[in-house]
Chain A
Amino acid sequence: MALDEATMRKIARLARIRLNDGEVKPFAAELDGLLGWIEQLSEVDTAGVAPMTSVVAMKLPQRADRVTDGGDAAAILANAPETVDGYFVVPKVVE
């Protein structure tokens, strides 16, 4: 299985990472190598094995559905590259 450049570009698009033309080929080759190495997992007999979803056997806790925190808008906005009137600013999305 070879990872072609079109697939590499699609994956980069999904990951929201811009690759320049010179980067596509090397990344495709590296990913292809890794995927080839990873392929060996298909040898493992996993019939009847449930995928691991909890690392250590424990029940996820539940808590009452009430507000325990909040009112920190200024602190949350303090690290933003651009804000106006308590909002994060992004390029125009809707015309």
Chain B
Amino acid sequence: MTTEMTLTQARAALAQRKISARELTTAHLAAIENAKVLNAFITLTAERALAMADASDARLKRGEGGLLEGAPLAIKDLFCTQGVRTTAGSKILDGFTPPYESTVSAKLWQAGAVMLGKANLDEFAMGSSNMTSAYGPVINPWKAKSGPAKGRDLVPGGSSGGSASAVAARLALGATGTDTGGSIRQPAAFCGITGIKPTYGRCSRWGIVAFASSLDQAGAFARTVEDTALLLRAMAGHDPKDSTSAAIPVPDYAAGLNGGVKGLRVGIPKEYRVDGMPEAIDKLWVKGAEWLKAGGAEIVEVSLPHTKYALPCYYIVAPAEASSNLARYDGVRFGLRVPADDLIGQYEATRAAGFGREVKRRILIGTYVLSAGYYDAYYLQAQKVRARIAEDFTKAYERCDVILTPTAPSAAFAIGDQLDDPIAMYLNDVFTVPASLAGLPGISVPAGLDAHGLPLGLQLLGRAFDETTVLRAAKALEDAAAFTHRPEPLP
């Protein structure tokens, strides 16, 4: 089947004219139609996709074409797309159609990619399950073969759940995501695919709906490390419109991918052994280290002593920034408006009706920690702890080149579970948040199955702007794991 191809295979088939971009796009649109039950997309852009595919075919026919020419992709609905409604998974953006294109998506179109549609997500990317989307939860294409979740629909993780579900279910060759505290890596692990969050500053944030500006970073999902490397190369690069985007050249990530891990020092942080972690995850982690060792890597134990403070630190920094960023939703310039007699009443009514519960909770806690009298005790202290966490990594990287950890402390759970206890939900990100706070690159690679047949991921973290080494180690891990499992095709 056409949609079974990887991005790399599709590129070769397109270049050799064995398949047309229109055929490839049509096959993916049909797969999406057949997978409506997953609710992976908020908006489909079938007409635009076919027009883009035709333009790709014309370029390919002339022997031209960019890095991703004719490749159908899903775009997380947090990236503004010109002329295509953008929701951020929230009712408060009702009716919003951006008059501009995000830098990252513009770069993808410039590279010849085809937009299939806008992928579902947790509201404003706040969540680890996709259950907070105003457009309904996304369903993970994987099913548990046994255990308590058997027979139930599973979450795809979050916040980029629609992107991950779509790529896992063969509805797109790849997808964009954003990662603030784990929103690419955790859903990649839950859906048995690869997902990379590059270094903060590697991709432009311009035109991405802001959640927490010092943490938000765009990244990519695909079914192989090589595909992920290709997508990242097309997305990354300096953008004068984002003052935090780095003026550093983007390497050809795919070029050195098969270099192996001989001599590479792989750090194992002892603080990542958390209580109550399923045995299968611990075993897989050990196995991952063995695989890399067999490839010639040196395994070293490292210490990241402030790990346990990363989540509470994150839950000050991220909501504080969110409360400030989301102040713009005022019912005046775009999106939902709920009229009231006076202006403040209108703000309050609009925001009460437009934001979901999780978003309100985070705005409220952010407002609290920034409010007079509490700023020093909470926000300032959190920014100092954050510096400590970053320093932990700096010290660890004196002894190692990459760090290997599990991606998440569990496999995908059933829809509806963990929703009552916010802290239990936040714990999903215990292994991904520290690197987010430190701005470092991380990738999740599918590496095995748990006892119930659900995918588990391993995470590799690297030094700032050293995605090349992260991807090279990830490729070695992917080759050793030989993960060929996939979700059952939909009927």
A8 to chain B, nearest CB (A): 8
Q: Roughly how many angstroms separate A31 CA and B366 CA in the complex, as a whole number?
A: 10
Report yes or no: B334 in contact with A79, Cβ–Cβ below 8 A. Answer: yes
Task: Please tell me if B363 contacts chain A, counting CB pairs below 8 Å.
Answer: yes
Q: Is the CB of B316 within 8 A of A41?
A: yes
A14 to B370, CA, bound (A): 11
| A41 pairs with B313, CB closer than 8 A | yes
Q: A16-B344, A37-B315 are in contact. List 5 more A-B contacts (CB 8 A).
A: A27-B360, A44-B381, A58-B244, A61-B247, A81-B331
Q: What are 30 residue pairs bridging A and B, where the CB atoms are less than 8 Å apart in the complex?
A: A11-B364, A11-B368, A16-B351, A17-B352, A18-B351, A27-B360, A27-B361, A34-B423, A37-B315, A37-B423, A38-B378, A40-B309, A40-B312, A41-B313, A51-B386, A52-B383, A55-B201, A55-B439, A56-B199, A56-B200, A58-B244, A76-B99, A78-B97, A78-B99, A79-B96, A80-B333, A88-B333, A90-B343, A91-B340, A93-B343
Give bound CA distance, A79 to B49, whole Å.
Answer: 24
Is B306's CB under 8 angstroms from A44's CB?
A: yes
Point out the residues of chain B lying under 8 angstroms from A82, CB to CB. 337
Task: Give the distance to chain B from A31, nearest Cβ to Cβ, in Å.
Answer: 6
Chain B proximity of A12: nearest CB distance (Å): 6
If A19-B352, A38-B316, A46-B385 touch, whether A80 touches B332 (CB-CB below 8 Å) is yes
Per DSSP, chain A at the interface is loop
Interface, chain B (partner A; CB < 8 A)? 95-97, 99-100, 199-201, 214-215, 240, 243-244, 246-247, 306, 308-309, 312-313, 315-316, 323, 327, 330-337, 339-349, 351-352, 355, 360-361, 363-365, 367-368, 371, 377-378, 380-388, 390, 422-423, 438-439, 464-465
Partner of A41, one of B199, B339, B340, B381: B381
Q: Are B315 and A38 in contact (CB under 8 A)?
A: yes
User: Could you tell me if A81 and B367 are in contact, using CB atoms closer than 8 angstroms?
Assistant: no
Interface residue tally for chain A (C-beta within 8 Å):
50
Contact B312 A12 (CB under 8 A): no
Known contacts: A49-B388, A91-B342. The answer to whether A11 contacts B371 by CB under 8 A is: yes
Known contacts A16-B351, A27-B364; decide if A56 and B464 are in contact (CB<8 Å): yes
